[in-house]
């Protein structure tokens, strides 16, 4: 693990881009804020890995399309040897290219931001402001050594699903934690995640079998437009089919439904019918985890399992508590394996969590509670 932003000193930032224009713009944007200091520039992924190992900056701002060593590999290497908050700044992370963003997040990047394009109406100053805002948040994330990098280092990279592989097989599971298998009437597993969520979801859902008799509903905080990419990306990598929910859809057993952007997805009844409702005024995270979890508590009571994964803030904690109070089994990701131990910590603090577990232990715990043998 590595410490992030200091309150007294400016955050040291390494820039990574092969374009001098982009590096000059990034530097001007970042150094317009006295809280940041650019300490080095790298022109390719290999230089970035070396510079980060040597300088141990507080944050990295990185393009993905890099010569010599590509951005995804550079992120994996940095996160395996010198974990550092990485903000990806690339032309191809939005819209139809959101799979690139998901790959970067799965490799360990904290967040992504799209570079300006020819048809964008925003001004450079607006992009500079967005860069500083995202970098400020990213630099405060306490990152951990990344699992994919660890596996690659130990020569076990094959144990992770290959991107785009699409094999519908579960990963090898660790031993199940001691969870009482008294939840055989469960109809739904509800999962909430935020920063670091895509990788955590990949790990968790990758261990759930395709013949799961329960439906899975995921609420992942994500910018508008990225949810379809998340669904498509996960669908190619985990055993169960993954899709984006729509208003009025009924959640299906053995299927992962991801709550859509811009709305709160609620479960209406124990037949797992859903409804999408507008967010509350002032609601910060959309889709909201609390709203979904509270609806699950009301409609399913003990016939649900709630899981709150890594993420900044407190969304999901109150909803998870409601689920627990209605008899649902509730699980929270532990600090050691969370990219950001915010939401699970908030849930733990208010006694919303039955069991706090390492990420790798959550799926076995869910299966154990359902009385399922591990794969």
Contacts of 93-96 spanning 24+ positions with Cβ under 8 A: 93/64, 94/225, 94/226, 95/225
Shortest distance, position 44 Cβ to other proteins, whole Å: 11
Contact predicate 194/221, CB 8 Å: yes
Q: Map the footprint of other proteins across residues 104-163, applying CB under 8 A.
A: 115-120, 124-125, 128, 132
Q: At 151, list the tokens.
A: 């596996």
Among 6, 9, 65, 184, binds other proteins (CB under 8 A): 65
Q: Closest separation between CB of residue 87 and other proteins, Å? A: 16
- Give the Cα separation of 224 and 227 in Å (integer): 7
Using the contact rule CB under 8 A, the part of the chain among 21-29, 291-299, 342-350, 363-371 near other proteins is: 21-29
Q: Is there binding between residue 32 and other proteins (CB under 8 A)?
A: yes
Alpha helices in 194-246 (DSSP H): 197-205, 227-235
Q: What does DSSP say about strands 274-277 and 264-267: parallel, antiparallel, or unpaired? A: antiparallel
Selected from 6, 24, 169, 246, the binder of other proteins by CB under 8 A is: 24
User: Applying CB under 8 A, does 164 fall inside the site for other proteins?
Assistant: no
Q: What does the DSSP assignment read for 85-124?
A: -EEEEESSSSGGGHHHHHHHHHHT-SEEEEPP-TT----H
Catalytic annotation, pick one of 17, 63, 315, 361: 315
CB-based contacts of 232-235 (< 8 A; 24+ apart in sequence):
232/99, 233/98, 233/99, 233/102, 233/103, 233/106, 233/198, 234/198, 234/201, 234/202, 234/205, 234/258
Q: Work out whether 9 is an interface residue with other proteins (CB under 8 A).
A: no
Judged by CB under 8 A, does residue 73 bind other proteins?
Answer: no
Which listed residue (194, 261, 295, 338) is catalytic?
Answer: 194
Q: How far is the CB of 89 from other proteins (least distance, A)?
A: 10
- Residue 35 found at the interface with other proteins (CB under 8 A): yes
Q: For residue 225, how many other CB atoms are within 10 A of its CB? A: 15
Q: Give ∠ CA 221-225-229 in degrees, rounded to 5.
A: 85
Provide the 8-state DSSP code for 174: -
* Among residues 6, 53, 54, 67, the one that binds other proteins under rule CB under 8 A: 67
Q: How many CB atoms lie within 10 A of CB 69?
A: 16
Kindly state the number of chain residues that form the binding site for other proteins, as judged by CB under 8 A.
Answer: 26
Is 348 in the active site?
A: no
The distance of closest approach from Cβ of residue 67 to other proteins in the complex, given in angstroms and rounded to an integer, is 6
* Structure tokens that stand for 11 in this block: 């955050």
Residue of 13, 15, 16, 25 interacting with other proteins (CB under 8 A): 25
**Active site (annotated) includes residue 183:** no
From 13-21, 188-196, 281-289, 314-322, span contacting other proteins (CB under 8 A): 13-21
Catalytic residue status for 194: yes
Positions in the binding site for other proteins (CB under 8 A):
18-22, 24-25, 28-29, 32-35, 65, 67, 91, 115-120, 124-125, 128, 132
Q: Catalytic residue positions? A: 194, 221, 315
């Amino acid at each position: 693990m590595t410490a992030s932003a200091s309150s007294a000193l400016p955050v040291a930032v390494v820039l990574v881009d092969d374009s001098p224009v982009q590096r000059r713009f990034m530097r001007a944007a970042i150094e317009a804020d006295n809280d940041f200091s650019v300490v080095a520039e790298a022109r390719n992924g290999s230089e970035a890995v070396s510079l980060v190992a040597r300088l141990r900056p507080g944050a990295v701002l990185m393009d993905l399309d890099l010569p010599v060593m590509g951005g995804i590999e550079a992120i994996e290497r940095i996160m395996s040897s010198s974990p550092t908050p990485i903000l990806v700044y690339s032309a191809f992370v939005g819209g139809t290219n959101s799979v690139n963003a998901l790959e970067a997040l799965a490799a360990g990047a904290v967040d992504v931001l799209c570079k300006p394009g020819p048809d964008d109406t925003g001004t450079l100053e607006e992009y500079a402001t967005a860069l500083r805002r995202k970098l400020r948040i990213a630099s405060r994330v306490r990152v951990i050594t990344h699992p994919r990098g660890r596996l690659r280092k130990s020569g076990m990279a094959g144990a992770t699903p290959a991107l785009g592989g699409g094999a519908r097989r579960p990963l090898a599971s660790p031993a199940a934690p001691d969870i009482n298998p008294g939840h055989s009437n469960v109809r739904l597993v509800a999962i909430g995640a935020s920063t670091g969520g895509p990788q955590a979801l990949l790990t968790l859902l990758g261990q759930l079998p395709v013949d799961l008799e329960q439906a899975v509903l995921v609420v992942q905080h994500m910018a508008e437009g990225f949810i379809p990419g998340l669904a498509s990306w996960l669908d190619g990598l985990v055993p169960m089919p993954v899709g984006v929910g729509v208003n009025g859809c009924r959640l299906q057993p053995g299927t992962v439904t991801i709550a859509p952007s811009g709305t709160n997805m609620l479960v209406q009844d124990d037949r797992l019918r859903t409804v999408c409702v507008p967010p509350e005024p002032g609601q910060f995270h959309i889709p909201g985890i609390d709203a979904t979890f509270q609806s699950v508590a009301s409609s399913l009571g003990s016939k649900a399992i709630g899981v709150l994964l890594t993420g900044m803030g407190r969304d999901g904690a109150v909803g998870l508590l409601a689920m627990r109070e209605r008899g649902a089994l509730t699980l929270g990701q532990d600090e050691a394996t969370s990219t950001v131990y915010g939401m699970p910590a908030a849930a733990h603090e208010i006694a919303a969590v039955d069991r706090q577990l390492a990420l790798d232990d959550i799926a076995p715990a869910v299966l154990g509670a359902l009385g399922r043998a591990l794969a």
